[in-house]
C-alpha cells in the first residue's frame, strides 16, 4: 500500500469523522481537482480496501472500510502527515509546538483559526488537552503568542458535544494521535 500526496489529501476528509460518507464530486470541488483524477484515486483506495462505497442514485458515497484491520494505522499516518504539514507551514511556532508536547501528559490538539488557516497576527493559539499540561506562561511570553487551553479528561470526553465535533472537524494532533484515534473509534 502506497499513500501518495493526493491519496493522503483525500483521506484527510475522513479524519474529520470516522463515519463520514463523501462523494467524489464534493472532494474534487473542495480541493479544486479534476473529477476524473479524484475518481481514479477513490477507486484505487477502494481496491486497496481502505475505502468502501455505497450508491445513492448516480452518486457513489465513499466511507472508511472499518473492517480493514489496518485502517486505524492508515488514519494515524494521515494525522501524522497533517501535523508535519502544519508545523512546516507555521515554522516560527515549531519550537513552541515541541515544548508544548513535552509539557503535556496526554493528547494535545490544535484547533481554531490556525488550523482553519484564518489566523491573524494577533490570533491566539487554541489547544485542546485530554490530560494535563504544565504552566505555559513563560512559553507565551517567549514566543509572543496568547495560548487558549481547553482541558478535559478521557472520562468526560463526549464526541457528540458540539465543541468536540468542531475540534474533530478541524484539528491537528500534536501529541497522542494513536490514543486520540483509539478514543474516537471506541466511542
Over residues 66-119, the pLDDT tens digits come to: 999 999 999 999 999 999 999 999 999 999 999 999 999 999 999 999 999 999
**Angle (CA) 83 74 164, round 5°:** 55
Pick the CATH number of 5-64 from 3.50.50.60, 3.30.9.10, 1.10.468.10, 1.10.10.10: 1.10.10.10
Q: What is the pLDDT of residue 6?
A: 84
* Contact in structure between 114 and 90 (CB atoms under 8 Å): yes
Three cell numbers at 139?
Answer: 512559553
Over residues 31-59, the pLDDT tens digits come to: 888 899 999 999 999 999 999 999 999 88
Bridging pattern class, strands 125-133 and 147-152: parallel
Three cell numbers at 69?
Answer: 484491520
Alpha carbon distance 41, 185 (integer Å): 25
Q: What is the pLDDT of residue 33?
A: 86
DSSP 93: G
The alpha-helical segments, DSSP class H, found in the chain are: 5-12, 24-31, 35-47, 71-89, 94-103, 113-116, 137-143, 162-169, 177-186
% of residues, the chain, pLDDT over 90: 76
Three cell numbers at 70?
Answer: 489496518
CATH of domain 71-186: 3.30.460
Q: Domain limits of the chain?
A: 5-64, 71-186
Amino acid at each position: 500500500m502506497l499513500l501518495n500526496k493526493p491519496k493522503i489529501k483525500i483521506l484527510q476528509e475522513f479524519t474529520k469523522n470516522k463515519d463520514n460518507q463523501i462523494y467524489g464530486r464534493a472532494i474534487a470541488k473542495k480541493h479544486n481537482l479534476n473529477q476524473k483524477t479524484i475518481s481514479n484515486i477513490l477507486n484505487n483506495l477502494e481496491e486497496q480496501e481502505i475505502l468502501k462505497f455505497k450508491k445513492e442514485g448516480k452518486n457513489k458515497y465513499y466511507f472508511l472500510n472499518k473492517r480493514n484491520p489496518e485502517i486505524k494505522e492508515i488514519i494515524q499516518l494521515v494525522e501524522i502527515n497533517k501535523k508535519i504539514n502544519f508545523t512546516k507551514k507555521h515554522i516560527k511556532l515549531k519550537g513552541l509546538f515541541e515544548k508544548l508536547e513535552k509539557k503535556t501528559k496526554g493528547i494535545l490538539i490544535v484547533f481554531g483559526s490556525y488550523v482553519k488557516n484564518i489566523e491573524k497576527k494577533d490570533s491566539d493559539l487554541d489547544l485542546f488537552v485530554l490530560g494535563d499540561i504544565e504552566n505555559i506562561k513563560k512559553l507565551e511570553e517567549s514566543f509572543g503568542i496568547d495560548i487558549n487551553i481547553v482541558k478535559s479528561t478521557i472520562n468526560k470526553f463526549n464526541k457528540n458535544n458540539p465543541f468536540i465535533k468542531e475540534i474533530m472537524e478541524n484539528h491537528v494532533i500534536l501529541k497522542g494521535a494513536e490514543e486520540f484515534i483509539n478514543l474516537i473509534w471506541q466511542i
